[in-house]
Amino acid sequence: MKYSFREFCKLDKEEQVSLGSLQEDLSGTVKKKKMKQLEDLLKKHDWFYFYSDDPRYYKKGTEEQSVIRKMIDEIGKDGMKLYKTYGKKSGVMESVKV
């Protein structure tokens, strides 16, 4: 079921949490800004962090991946397309169609 932002805010906290993230359409300028932020994160992201023997690098990579995932969820399809493009460039997702 889809809720407007106003309806979502009227729900109790438990229901808000159970519904997960709120999907709103981003305006043009907000979306461009978020896409730029996502691109910056993807450029500096260590795509092979999960191979690290050092737990500090693994933890940092996991945290970066979590932030990236949240941004993709906010942006939507365009965010996922950008993610796949950078993943493919890095060699992690060779077989992914963009």
Question: What is the spatial distance between Cα 47 and Cα 62, in angstroms, rounded to a whole number?
Answer: 10
CA-to-CA distance for 79 and 6, rounded, in angstroms? Answer: 25
- Does residue 68 or residue 98 have the better pLDDT? 68
**Digit-coded pLDDT (tens) for 20-42:** 654 556 778 889 999 999 999 99
Spatial distance between the Cα atoms of 71 and 90, rounded to a whole number of angstroms: 19
The count of other CB atoms within 10 Å of the CB of residue 4 is 10
3-state secondary structure the chain: CCCCHHHHHHCCHHHHHHHCCCCCCCCHHHHHHHHHHHHHHHHHCCCCHHHCCCHHHHHHHHHHHHHHHHHHHHHCHHHHHHHHHHHHHHCCCCCCCC
* Residue pLDDT, tens place only, 42-94: 999 999 998 999 999 999 999 999 999 999 998 989 999 999 999 998 888 76
Question: Does the reported pTM lie above 0.75?
Answer: no
Whether pLDDT at 7 is above 90:
no
